[in-house]
Structure 1
Amino acid sequence: MLVQILFLMATGGFPAVAADDGFMKVTGPCGLSFPADHGPHPDYRTEWWYYTGNLTGRDGHRFGFQLTFFRRGIQPPADRKGWPDPSSAWRTDQIYLAHAAISDITGGRHPQADRMARPVLSMAGAELADGDVTIHLHGWQATITPQGHRLQADAGDFALALDLTALKPPVPHGEGGYSRKGQSPDRASCYYSFTRLHATGSLTVAGTRHTVQGTAWMDHEFSTAPLQPGIVGWDWFSLQLADHSEVMLFLLRQPDGTLNPASSGTVVLPGGDTRHLTLGDVRVTPLSFWTSPHSGARYPVGWRLRVLPLQLDFTLTASLKDQEMRTPHSTGVVYWEGSVQARGTGHEKTIDGVGYVELTGYAAPFDAPM
């Protein structure tokens, strides 16, 4: 994969400039090309593949799910030239982490798990082979092929096995996938999403297996730059509406409660056309809050969200208040990641929807890389 990344850089596929620590910076439109860009980008420090969705069982039982894989560069690949030859099978310049959870909305439960491993001895990794990408960690796995995505994770007290079929092509955010996260050009990521995936398969919770179907969302993002100083966390929204449009929005919060001007989003129209959203295009107002008995963090769990240029006006409600993630076996970060229901108006008609919301920096300021 590294050879392919260097080729893309040399031919203009990525506008890359060497970072001070040896990793590459994202500085402009990313020239995303698939399937190669579904795979790993080891020249960048931080990367994640992120799946969420809302599912319903045959008996009407409602669920949400999350499965996320993270890759973190410990040292840039160029430093491998200083390794001894032969090198230890345990030596690595990366680490992989994964978070998984099921929101059992009907049952009122939120089982969760997290894992971490070196990408050695087949314990973890991400590979591109013959056009297929596989991201894996201790038996948890996401496989991306031209036909769709396959997710598998067994955490003991819960498990998921899902097949996802893309109903729309991948959507690059920002400017050709170049998603600004601060005022300087290099405080940015390469970021795209599958905004509407049809999901079928099974979830197992507390020993009961449920056959399910519904909709899912996939994000893939990679970067090197840390968050701009003064950003304490973000609120991220993904909505899948009944008129077959989607909305992605991230709000970068500052200590005084204001939002960083780099906050932005994307609307995907039913036919697949997209519209970039700036901070001035949206209004998000918290309507209700929940205090975690686990961490003491106070999270918003209800919102009014308006997209002014498109006259969209929605009320979002958490499907389950306690969807807080605690990750002592991997990142150590406490955050809220949960299913939401949407109801509102657009184009002078009522539109319902489902989605997911991620809230970071409420338990403690979030100063990790993007």
Structure 2
Amino acid sequence: MPAASIHAKPDARQIVNHPLTGYAFSFPRDFYSHNNYQVEWWYFTGNLKDAAGREYGYQCSFFRVSLAGMKALQQYQDTPSEWSNEHIYFAHMTVVDLKNGKFYFYERINRSGLGLAGAAEDRLEVWNENWKLTGEGDTRKLTAKEEENGFDLQLVPEKAPVIHGTGDDKPKWEIPEKAPNYYSFTRMKTTGKVFIDGQPVEVTGTSWMDHVFAERLLAPKQAGWDWFSLKLDNGAEVMLFRIRMQDGKYDPRSGGTLVRADGTQAHLPSEKQSVGVLKTWTSPKSDVTYPAGWKIDLPERNIALKVTPDMAGQELFLLRSVSNSYWEGSVTVEGTYEGRPVRGKGYVELVGYGGNLSATFGQ
């Protein structure tokens, strides 16, 4: 499939008014930072192979958060003036070697006061020290290395950006203007290197990118979320986000998006999806119990999928930046799509199982 052009002059196909927030998306402008929003992140996950077929996975996320109103981050305001800034930047990075059962995770926390971290508003450039995301033409370059582990990757979208919440059967939101502005590149051709214990490995595969900018992370009664990004071998992708409330129920504002092979999309409302947990796993480090296998049914789309973690131990343990642990890992998908067998790869993120996340990031 040819790569989608993403830097053409904006036209009617590239400017979309979000039906909830009223925000007018325009590319390439919205690839860049939106400093007038409370929170923003650029989030990459990928499934890769080397020449021998050995599998690897990675996650790299860059966050920009306004210090005003974020309780867990206000501690960083009491610092010398040369370090002070309106925003704090943190980043998470993981790399997994599935054949050898190795999983590494790292984080960074900085401000832009001395140029150690930042996000440009006029170009695609986001960094936290030497972890960097840049864009040139249609290509994204993603580099992160810590100790002897990391990656140096080039990513090219195979489809145009998908703006979530603009398809048929629109999602509900209690305060529409508080809904997140959220788009993705759901399938990106990926080449480059991963580094495992200092050894470079040439890899190819596919990645997924999320870019979100919003007024808040979670509402007061929300505790966390389950997020699925699944890339199927028939060219389709499925994104599901399931917001968990403090009482254990799922928020009806949860939803998702089906992206067909031709790039068209359909909203997946929470009441028209079924996600069952098949088993659980308890972390020996945090003692937190996470779901560890799922059965997903989308009856109106005639899609049924089984999602299985490629390795149980893919937990980012006790991160300072979020005062919590979370699980994010590579998964394998199998099932049926409109009656035909389908397989795939992807990532799942499980946030808030070790504690109420809105207590950390409440406003």
TM-score by length of structure 2 reads: 0.87
1:225 is the counterpart of 2:216: yes
Checking the alignment, whether the CA contact within 8 Å between 1:149 and 1:164 is kept in structure 2 is: yes
Q: Secondary structure at the match of 2:177?
A: coil
1:38 is the counterpart of 2:31: yes
What amino acid sits opposite 1:304 in the alignment?
K
1:318 aligned residue: 309
What amino acid sits opposite 2:310 in the alignment?
S
Q: Secondary structure at the match of 2:203?
A: strand
1:298 is the counterpart of 2:289: yes
What amino acid sits opposite 1:174 in the alignment?
G
Determine which of 41, 45, 60 is the counterpart of 1:52. Answer: 45
CA distance in 2 between counterparts of 1:331 and 1:232 reads: 13
1:38-91 CA-to-partner distances (Å, cap 9, x unmatched) read 111111110000000100011222111000000011249xxxxxxxxxx95433
Gaps of 5+ in 2: 1-14, 70-79
1:246 is the counterpart of 2:244: no
Checking the alignment, whether the CA contact within 8 Å between 1:111 and 1:157 is kept in structure 2 is: no
Distance change >3 Å, CA 263–CA 270, structure 1 → 2:
same
1:117 is the counterpart of 2:110: yes
Determine which of 342, 348, 354 is the counterpart of 1:351. Answer: 342
Q: For residue 358 of structure 1, report the CA deviation from its aligned partner.
A: 0.5
CA distance in 1 between counterparts of 2:362 and 2:46 reads: 25
Determine which of 88, 97, 101 is the counterpart of 2:94. Answer: 101
Distance change >3 Å, CA 247–CA 27, structure 1 → 2:
closer
How many correspondences in the alignment?
A: 335
Once the two structures are overlaid, the 10-residue window that deviates more, 29-38 or 236-245, is: 29-38
2:67 aligned residue: 74
Determine which of 168, 173, 187 is the counterpart of 1:196. Answer: 187
CA distance in 2 between counterparts of 1:349 and 1:192 reads: 28
Distance change >3 Å, CA 324–CA 182, structure 1 → 2:
farther
1:9 aligned residue: none
Q: For residue 258 of structure 1, report the CA deviation from its aligned partner.
A: 2.1
Distance change >3 Å, CA 44–CA 369, structure 1 → 2:
farther
Determine which of 140, 143, 147 is the counterpart of 1:152. Answer: 143
CA distance in 2 between counterparts of 1:218 and 1:52 reads: 7
What amino acid sits opposite 2:63 in the alignment?
F
1:236 aligned residue: 227
2:351 aligned residue: 360
1:198-226 CA-to-partner distances (Å, cap 9, x unmatched) read 00000011122110000100000011134
Once the two structures are overlaid, the 10-residue window that deviates more, 202-211 or 180-189, is: 180-189
1:79-133 CA-to-partner distances (Å, cap 9, x unmatched) read xxxxxxxx9543311110000001211110111100011112221111144xx41
What amino acid sits opposite 1:62 in the alignment?
E
Checking the alignment, whether the CA contact within 8 Å between 1:224 and 1:369 is kept in structure 2 is: no
Q: Secondary structure at the match of 2:160?
A: coil
Once the two structures are overlaid, the 10-residue window that deviates more, 189-198 or 26-35, is: 26-35
Give me the identity figure in percent. Answer: 37
Checking the alignment, whether the CA contact within 8 Å between 2:220 and 2:362 is kept in structure 1 is: no
RMSD, aligned CA: 2.2
Distance change >3 Å, CA 226–CA 210, structure 1 → 2:
closer
Once the two structures are overlaid, the 10-residue window that deviates more, 334-343 or 145-154, is: 145-154
CA distance in 1 between counterparts of 2:335 and 2:52 reads: 27
Checking the alignment, whether the CA contact within 8 Å between 2:47 and 2:58 is kept in structure 1 is: yes
What amino acid sits opposite 1:227 in the alignment?
L
2:155 aligned residue: 164
2:178 aligned residue: 187
Q: Give the alignment of 1:252-263 within 5 angstroms.
A: 252-263=243-254
1:216-262 CA-to-partner distances (Å, cap 9, x unmatched) read 00000011134223221110001000000001110111234321110
2:124 aligned residue: 133
Q: Secondary structure at the match of 2:261?
A: coil
CA distance in 2 between counterparts of 1:238 and 1:51 reads: 11
Q: Secondary structure at the match of 1:186?
A: helix
Q: Secondary structure at the match of 1:358?
A: strand
CA distance in 2 between counterparts of 1:121 and 1:231 reads: 35
1:106-161 CA-to-partner distances (Å, cap 9, x unmatched) read 110111100011112221111144xx411001100011233211000111130200
Distance change >3 Å, CA 125–CA 247, structure 1 → 2:
same
CA distance in 1 between counterparts of 2:41 and 2:184 reads: 12
1:311-355 CA-to-partner distances (Å, cap 9, x unmatched) read 100100001101111253433221111110000001211000011
What amino acid sits opposite 1:346 in the alignment?
Y
